[in-house]
Structure 1
Amino acid sequence: MIGKYLAERFSWITFYILLHLFIIFVAYLDSAIPLRPILYIVFLSLLMFSMFLIFRYKKETYFYKSLEAREDNLDITNIAEPESPFEKIIENCIINQTELLKRSAATGQMTLEQEKDELLSWIHEVKTPLTAMHLMIDRLDDELLKSHLTYEWLRIHLLLDQQLHQRRMPFIENDLYIEKNDLETIIFDEIKTLRSWCIQKGIGFDIQLDVTEVLSDAKWLAFIMRQLLTNSIKYSENSDIMIYSHERAGQTVLEVQDSGRGIDPKDLSRIFDKGFTSTTNHRDSAATGMGLYLTKNAAEPLFISINVKSELGTGTTVTLTFPKRNDFVNITSM
């Protein structure tokens, strides 16, 4: 701040020094003016000016130091009280801009909440005709047509489900209910939902669950499994997806392994980024880049760690490590 203060006052300091040099120069040229007393006066003047600068530095920079130290938010309560007219102009500008931003943010938040509520309402309304459509498809006699329609119905259902959970994600902590859940029930329910897609792609499942009970939220755990299974099925063909569970260091570990196209090693660090759709087949319009992003965001409040191992052409293994019971002491629903 000292350097900034001197830079701000540079023109005044320069003018003051040049003025005294001019006085010395005039005394040097004019023999009628004694030079030694002039030098003494100039020295005392510069000394007093230096003391004045030191005193004014603390006073004039106090307000600006408070501006520099404040956090980048809309809270202006920590700004020091302005003393000079210029500081008051700055304070008024900051207050006016802050109030404008607060009003804009409140309006934007209200609009966003309204749009979110409307979208959630729309999703719930769409589910009714989708359910009716599924019942109609089940009554079809043409198995080939029935299979194709069921697959397309499933795609719509999964996209709507993903949108629904995405809108709920910011408030996931309010929706958690931690209890003991049966892994086998959750996994088989999700496989049953995806059955028509699996049949179409010739995909089977090899399931070996040494540990079947985990502590988690049933709804969000089912959503996580749905995203992982959907990814495995999407990028696999005529192969089995292996699902294993075991205990390691007092924690339940669940592995979902497929034999699909795999992930390029350079992409592994980005697979959980929002909107990332892989560089291996960048023209794949079916990928949304949201599945693993939402999975990661849903797993964090549940204290589930996710690890992904993959190589191109050899498939992908996703490992879920569930927390111990005492990891949930901060969740009030326990």
Structure 2
Amino acid sequence: MKLIDYMKINKVGLTNNIIIFIITNCIVYTSSTINKAFKDIVYMDILILLIEFITFTYGFIKEKNKYSNILKFNEGLANKTNDFHLNIVSNILEKQSLEYLKKEESLKNNINDFEDYITKWVHDIKMNISIVDLLLEDLEEDESQKIISEMKQMEFSVNQVLYVTRANNYNLDVKSEQVAVGDEIRKAIKMNAIFFINKNIEIILEAEGFNIISDRKWIHYIFSQIINNSSKYTNENGQLHILSKEDSKAYYLHIKDNGIGIPKEDINRIFNKGFTGKNGRTRTKSTGIGLYYAKKMCNNLNIDLKVESREGEYTEFILSFYKLADYYNVTPMSH
């Protein structure tokens, strides 16, 4: 408690004492019966003021100590209350954190177990496909060609399952290495060659060799998805043109077919998960998954993937590999 606060609280008593002091002095000075020795009156005033000062000081100190004890008690109580609340909140958060960690660990294990199962299943199926391919060699060419084509499509779909499983793996890490884009394009064409041969589609490859820092298996997956998509929507005797360009900012890979094109109302949605569009529903058994994951992996690898198309004329996919993108710009899979 401050002195001014104590004076405000006791202002009535102080005012009363001052009035009594003034009245007493007035009576002494005006009374004719009292011997008005100046020294005696001054002595009396000093004595009265001294007693008043001692009484005032004692009262102030007593009140100050009382309020200080009350404040200390309140502060201590508040601190204890705050500590109690903090301990409760801390215990709740710690408990929730442990529960979430357990759930997260369980989720990781389930996802990884599922990936292990799918990986084994894919390898088993691919083994069966390889055996069927060998058996088909003994059949007449005309009879086996359609079966081979279907088997290759099955193999492509099986590989797609494997890649999709990896893309959703909880612990997926992207491996950065030097990738020759021309080599991966040729591998993707070879993987889809049977589909182009069956439809007599001409492939014009004018992609000059350039290297990028990226993940080889995902670059191959992206190219394969786009090229396979072109094989589905290009008519017989059509053409697929692959060329590369370069400027100061990036390398560009253009994959253009003269197929049926994409309707204007669908073009902004072809990278959406599960979107098949009008062409996917009428011409092929499209799942709407391949291009979705191709775009997803492009985003994770800092590759820009765009599409341009005119219905009935062409579809062109454009991949931009920016020269500033290096090892540190390759990001891990987002969940």
Q: Same fold, TM exceeding 0.5?
A: yes
Task: State the one-letter code of the partner of 2:164.
Answer: Q
Q: Which is worse superposed, 100-109 or 140-149?
A: 100-109
Q: Distance in 2 between matches of 1:94 and 1:304?
A: 40
In structure 2, which of residues 209, 213, 232 is the aligned counterpart of residue 212 of structure 1?
209
Task: State the one-letter code of the partner of 1:303.
Answer: N
Contact 1:242 1:257 in 2 (8 A): yes
Contact 2:115 2:166 in 1 (8 A): no
Q: In 2 relative to 1, CA 102–189 (structure 1 residues): closer, same or farther, beyond 3 Å?
A: closer
Match of 1:162 in 2: 160
* Deviation of 1:287 (Å): 0.5
**1:316 equivalent in alignment to 2:318:** no
Match of 2:190 in 1: 192
Q: In 2 relative to 1, CA 101–301 (structure 1 residues): closer, same or farther, beyond 3 Å?
A: closer
Match of 1:174 in 2: 173
Q: Distance in 2 between matches of 1:231 and 1:262?
A: 11
User: What CA RMSD, in Å, does the superposition of the two structures yield over aligned residues?
Assistant: 3.2
SS of the residue corresponding to residue 296 of structure 2 reads helix
* Deviation of 1:125 (Å): 2.3
Gaps spanning 5+ residues in structure 1: where? 1-58, 64-79
Q: In 2 relative to 1, CA 215–128 (structure 1 residues): closer, same or farther, beyond 3 Å?
A: same
Match of 1:201 in 2: 199
Contact 1:214 1:322 in 2 (8 A): no
CA displacement 1:229-269 (0-9 Å, x = unmatched): 10001111121111111212342111011122222223222
Match of 1:83 in 2: 85
Contact 1:214 1:252 in 2 (8 A): no
* Deviation of 1:158 (Å): 0.6
* Deviation of 1:180 (Å): 4.3
Q: Structure 1 segments of 4 or more deviating over 4 A?
A: 90-102, 170-173
Match of 1:41 in 2: none
Contact 1:263 1:312 in 2 (8 A): yes
* Deviation of 1:329 (Å): 4.2
SS of the residue corresponding to residue 277 of structure 2 reads coil
Q: Distance in 2 between matches of 1:298 and 1:162?
A: 13
Contact 2:166 2:172 in 1 (8 A): no
CA displacement 1:145-182 (0-9 Å, x = unmatched): 22112111111111111111112224696342321415
* Deviation of 1:130 (Å): 1.9
SS of the residue corresponding to residue 298 of structure 1 reads helix
Q: Distance in 2 between matches of 1:144 and 1:286?
A: 24
Q: In 2 relative to 1, CA 106–189 (structure 1 residues): closer, same or farther, beyond 3 Å?
A: closer
Q: In 2 relative to 1, CA 109–161 (structure 1 residues): closer, same or farther, beyond 3 Å?
A: same
Q: In 2 relative to 1, CA 304–97 (structure 1 residues): closer, same or farther, beyond 3 Å?
A: closer
Q: In 2 relative to 1, CA 100–302 (structure 1 residues): closer, same or farther, beyond 3 Å?
A: closer
Q: Distance in 2 between matches of 1:215 and 1:245?
A: 13
Q: Distance in 2 between matches of 1:228 and 1:142?
A: 32
Match of 2:33 in 1: none
CA displacement 1:210-238 (0-9 Å, x = unmatched): x2122143322221111011000111112
SS of the residue corresponding to residue 253 of structure 2 reads strand
Identity of aligned residues (%): 23
* Deviation of 1:328 (Å): 0.7
Q: In 2 relative to 1, CA 151–281 (structure 1 residues): closer, same or farther, beyond 3 Å?
A: closer
**1:121 equivalent in alignment to 2:120:** yes
Task: State the one-letter code of the partner of 1:231.
Answer: N
Output aligned runs, 1:29-178, within 5 Å: 83=85, 100=99, 102-137=101-136, 139-170=137-168, 174-178=173-177
Matched positions, count: 251
Q: In 2 relative to 1, CA 155–82 (structure 1 residues): closer, same or farther, beyond 3 Å?
A: farther
Q: Distance in 2 between matches of 1:264 and 1:319?
A: 18
Q: Distance in 2 between matches of 1:218 and 1:175?
A: 9
Q: Distance in 2 between matches of 1:97 and 1:182?
A: 48
Q: Distance in 2 between matches of 1:126 and 1:180?
A: 29
Q: In 2 relative to 1, CA 318–182 (structure 1 residues): closer, same or farther, beyond 3 Å?
A: closer
SS of the residue corresponding to residue 300 of structure 1 reads helix
Match of 1:72 in 2: none
Q: In 2 relative to 1, CA 81–161 (structure 1 residues): closer, same or farther, beyond 3 Å?
A: farther
CA displacement 1:276-316 (0-9 Å, x = unmatched): 11145545661011111111122223322111111221221
TM-score (norm 2): 0.65
Q: Distance in 2 between matches of 1:199 and 1:294?
A: 26
